A and B are shown apart, each in its own frame.
Chain A
Amino acid sequence: MPYQLAVNGRTHRIDEDGQTPLLWVLRDTLRLTGTKYGCGIAQCGACTIHVDGQPMRSCSLSLETAAGSQIVTIEAVEGPEAAAVRAAWVKRDVPQCGFCQSGQIMSAVALLRSNGAPTDDDIDRAMSGNICRCATYNRIRAAIHDAAQSSTSQAKTA
């Protein structure tokens, strides 16, 4: 039975086994390769996407479960927090190998949406599900603080 899958604002008809991890549907079927395979067991966070606004690990989410929800991937994450996070990431030269950064950014955007001024402790709690083997953590932390400041100041001027 095909599934209706809403990804980045478009609905796709996916004729695959409902137990397929959403990760592989995104990557192989929809060619949205910004979402990465890193561990396959929800340990590293490289495959983080937003499901109805909540960050989730797409390797651990079945197509069947995801169908009916609004899925957003790194390719289409938008809004003031996303823009601020991306800008801060580039300004700080956060990435090294870059492979984990899609997931880091998806988690960071979700954090800022729920908490406009996260403390270091908030960042630890929100981001410790995302591994960066290059250990760019300090720059990620600094970039999240930057992004929080810039989206706060944006909100004030708006």
Chain B
Amino acid sequence: MKSPPESLDPTQPAKRGFRMTRRRMVLGGSLIGGAMVVGYTATHPMEVGGAILSGGGPDPEPSAFGSYIRIASDGFVTIVNRQQELGQGIHAGLAAIVAEELDADWDRVKVIDSRSNFRTYGPQGSVGSRSISSNWDLMRNAGAAARSMFVDAAALLWRVPRRLIDVRDGVVSHPGSNRSATFAELLADASRQAPPQQPMLKQTKDYRLIGTDRVRRKDSVPKSTGAQVYTQDVQRPDLLVAMVAHSPRFGGKLARFDPSDARKVKGVIDVFAIETGVAVVAQNSFAARKGRDALRVEWDDSEAEKRSTPDLFRYYHDLAAGRGDVSPSDFAMKGDKPEAPFSGDIFEFAFDFPYLAHAPMETLDCVAAVNGWDVSITSGAHLPIVDQVQAALTARTTPGRVDLEVIPAGGSFGRRGVMSADYVVECVRIAKRTNGRPVKMIWTREDEMMAGYFRPMSHHRLWVQMGHDGFPRRWRVHSVCQPLVPVGPNSQAVEGIEGSPYFSTASTVDGKIFSPSFAVPPSFWRSVGHSHTSFVMEHIIDQLARRAGRDPAAYRRTFYEKAGDKRRLAVLETLCRRSGWGEPMEAGWARGLAIHETYGTLVGQVAELRLDRGKPVVRRVVAVTDCGIAVSPNQIAAQMEGGIGFGLSAALSGSMTLKDGIVQETNFDTYPILRMNEMPAVETHIIASTNRPTGMGEPGVPPIAPAVANALLALTGNPTRSLPLAQASTISNAPGDPA
């Protein structure tokens, strides 16, 4: 659990200087996940280690204005995005921060994505919704330094004091003498100025761009005309297309294969075994597909996972009850008597959450070429640093010889950023066998859904001992969840439970994490552990409020007051006001509320719900967020809408199940995604703040499922013990909503 963001004065130059800031950022949450790396620091040994590991890759073209800003002779400012554009609009957010401090003309700002380059940009990756927060100082300083160079140039040219020079929308002016010049006109002079070590940053109140609706995406035109190039669309001379036949079971190995029929398919060039299956290399995508369909393959399942989902849940329940083969680790201790028995008024809660696939619209794909020691990759990467290192290890070269061109991805939600870089490694393995010809590896939707790296299934069992005042005195938590990182504590399993404000009335809290390991690979999925822990805490609170005869909002207020959590109180207050909480609704409708903090950002949501022939229908969600300074309110709203749609899709019908070890949901017909007719209206309200910005990519997801379950509880009196809510609807023959 993160502490609330420091309330730094954003007007102060970064305390430890520009260089330090950069490092602080690059070594921050980038490498492994905001969930894991609590706090950040810059350390000499890591820089050395990182440099050995990742070397670099080709350096960007030099610019007088640093690694992140290029200004062309026409005055257009190009900002280099060191993060990855996965749909979250980070390119615009970072550009706006630079443009604000630079006082550039927003309409003459462009953004390009950087290649993966450790020397220049540090270890790159987009994790923990930190892309704005971790680049905040860096981008402000970069913009302010460049601005200062233009001011210096104008001061020299016009022989006027710096402090009398103004910059606005890409025009430098000296109002006293009515002189002005554009960035283009001053470019040569400005390029010769020395950048300041500690550029002066603007005060929040002076922002002209940040926080306004002028901050909009720069990619809406290419993404509305079909012009945006994704990995799937990459063309190269001599490009080959590859598909791979994978084991249908996790942990299954290739036993035998017969490529003779596949080789007969027109367009198929080569068929060979790789570590993860059988690769079919062809002249085009459909030939590769037909070739793969024509393969005869036998798998060795002796070490494969063969259990079914109900078996796994039974196993998890046994673990939580202390009847399993996994020894737990302790967490979230509060108080000193964890061994004393519970007594008095005790409630027990148990929750089951399914595996979930990310299912980004663009399936996994990668373009790679291996020429001797050199590897070149084009990918909609999510963790470029990891991809680069893994690709180098696969090709037996150094990361510095891996040129990773990062292009926008057709969604990721975590899938393109797994620690094993599974699909990148697979593509490089194939490219090693094509004599230097570039290979575009495409996974079908079925490949993507059957390959795992799911949001792990989990089971949480909690015991709450109540006081006479209707508030918990004691909590015990047993959580079962596969670890996402092979080392360190399995903190993702309980992020969002650990340090919960709802522990504020309790004197004792103790918890155990059971971390089973088996062949189904889990991974980070938009909002990670919060995607299930938010449900646990927020749905329990509504059940406790109900038992105590309290209004859920008023009940929460007591916890937040006790915890001294002013931010949560403000979110709750705004949420109640904006959603009409407590006001009567039409018959058959109910509201549900949830508030959850994800990676420093607080989000509260109220869902309005009815049942249509047993199926929940959500018509409207009112959302409130405190995410510090709102860089782009428009894109914050977009992420809130998207997060709600993503979370609601999972809550209503998202579930990946195994039967005898084989994934049963292989495409959108069996893993239904929320569609237009199911999307609720969303209202987003942003709490005004002068705190450092926090992220918005993930925090919109966690509250929606418990908000819906809490509305169901209010409507029917029935609590929800497992997700998805509509599991049965896929097999029933119930008529749908006629509307």
Interface residues of A (CB under 8 A from B): 17, 20-21, 24, 27-29, 31-41, 43-44, 46, 73-75, 86, 89-90, 93-102, 105, 121, 123-125, 127-128, 130-141
In the bound complex, how far is the Cα of B668 from the Cα of A130, in angstroms?
11
Q: Which residues of A contact B223 (CB under 8 A)?
A: 95, 98, 101
**Are the C-beta atoms of B87 and A39 separated by less than 8 Å?**
no
Q: Which residues of A contact B363 (CB under 8 A)?
A: 37-38
A43-B669, A93-B635, A97-B410 known; A75 and B284 CB under 8 Å?
no
**Are the C-beta atoms of B676 and A123 separated by less than 8 Å?**
yes
Nearest residue, chain B, Cβ from A92: B220
Q: Which residues of A contact B570 (CB under 8 A)?
A: none
**Are the C-beta atoms of B362 and A97 separated by less than 8 Å?**
yes
In the bound complex, how far is the Cα of B222 from the Cα of A127, in angstroms?
21
Nearest residue, chain B, Cβ from A106: B226
Listed by A's residue number, 21 A-B pairs whose Cβ atoms lie within 8 Å are A24-B284, A28-B285, A28-B286, A29-B284, A34-B226, A34-B227, A36-B410, A38-B362, A41-B667, A41-B668, A43-B667, A74-B225, A90-B224, A93-B220, A98-B222, A132-B361, A133-B361, A134-B361, A134-B411, A135-B645, A135-B674
Minimum CB–CB distance for B629 against chain A, Å? 20
Please tell me if B219 contacts chain A, counting CB pairs below 8 Å: yes
**Are the C-beta atoms of B266 and A17 separated by less than 8 Å?**
yes
Q: Which residues of A contact B673 (CB under 8 A)?
A: 44, 131, 133
In the bound complex, how far is the Cα of B226 from the Cα of A73, in angstroms?
9
Nearest residue, chain B, Cβ from A87: B224
Nearest residue, chain A, Cβ from B89: A96
**Are the C-beta atoms of B360 and A97 separated by less than 8 Å?**
yes
Q: Is the interface of B mostly helix, strand, loop or mixed?
A: loop
Please tell me if B8 contacts chain A, counting CB pairs below 8 Å: no
Q: Which residues of A contact B284 (CB under 8 A)?
A: 24, 28-29
**Are the C-beta atoms of A40 and B641 separated by less than 8 Å?**
no
**Are the C-beta atoms of A38 and B361 separated by less than 8 Å?**
yes
* Extra contacts besides A28-B241, A40-B667, A135-B642 (12): CB < 8 Å: A24-B284, A38-B361, A95-B217, A97-B409, A105-B224, A124-B677, A127-B676, A133-B361, A133-B646, A134-B646, A135-B679, A137-B674
Which of these binds chain A: B229-237, B268-276, B453-461? B229-237
Per-residue CB contact flags for chain B residues 625-643 toward chain A (1 = under 8 Å, else 0) read 0000000001100100110
Minimum CB–CB distance for B370 against chain A, Å? 22
Minimum CB–CB distance for B84 against chain A, Å? 11
**Are the C-beta atoms of B216 and A93 separated by less than 8 Å?**
yes
In the bound complex, how far is the Cα of B229 from the Cα of A32, in angstroms?
11
**Are the C-beta atoms of A124 and B668 separated by less than 8 Å?**
no
Nearest residue, chain A, Cβ from B411: A97
In the bound complex, how far is the Cα of B665 from the Cα of A39, in angstroms?
13
Q: Which residues of B contact A127 (CB under 8 A)?
A: 676
**Are the C-beta atoms of B645 and A137 separated by less than 8 Å?**
yes
Nearest residue, chain A, Cβ from B440: A28
Please tell me if B88 contacts chain A, counting CB pairs below 8 Å: yes
**Are the C-beta atoms of B225 and A86 separated by less than 8 Å?**
yes
Minimum CB–CB distance for B621 against chain A, Å? 10
Choose from A21, A94, A125, A130 the contact partner of B224 (Cβ within 8 Å): A94
Enumerate B229-264 residues with CB–CB distance to A below 8 Å: 229-230, 232-233, 235, 241
Q: Which residues of B contact A90 (CB under 8 A)?
A: 220-221, 224
4 A-B pairs closest in CB distance: A34-B226, A135-B645, A99-B410, A97-B87
Please tell me if B444 contacts chain A, counting CB pairs below 8 Å: yes
Most buried by A among B216, B410, B648: B410
Q: Which residues of A contact B587 (CB under 8 A)?
A: none
Choose from A101, A135, A139 the contact partner of B646 (Cβ within 8 Å): A135
Q: Which residues of B contact A34 (CB under 8 A)?
A: 225-227
In the bound complex, how far is the Cα of B224 from the Cα of A75, in angstroms?
10
Most buried by B among A32, A33, A123, A130: A33
Q: Which residues of B contact A74 (CB under 8 A)?
A: 225-226
Nearest residue, chain A, Cβ from B645: A135
**Are the C-beta atoms of B217 and A134 separated by less than 8 Å?**
no
Q: Which residues of A contact B136 (CB under 8 A)?
A: none
Minimum CB–CB distance for B208 against chain A, Å? 20
A93-B216, A97-B86, A133-B411 known; A33 and B676 CB under 8 Å?
no
Minimum CB–CB distance for B227 against chain A, Å? 7
Please tell me if B437 contacts chain A, counting CB pairs below 8 Å: no
A121-B739, A135-B646 known; A36 and B285 CB under 8 Å?
no
Choose from B229, B412, B676 the contact partner of A124 (Cβ within 8 Å): B676
In the bound complex, how far is the Cα of B738 from the Cα of A125, in angstroms?
11
**Are the C-beta atoms of B411 and A39 separated by less than 8 Å?**
no
Choose from B220, B228, B359, B676 the contact partner of A133 (Cβ within 8 Å): B359
Q: Which residues of B contact A46 (CB under 8 A)?
A: 361
**Are the C-beta atoms of B675 and A131 separated by less than 8 Å?**
yes
In the bound complex, how far is the Cα of B363 from the Cα of A36, in angstroms?
10
In the bound complex, how far is the Cα of B549 from the Cα of A88, in angstroms?
49
Q: Which residues of B contact A139 (CB under 8 A)?
A: 638, 641
In the bound complex, how far is the Cα of B228 from the Cα of A134, in angstroms?
16
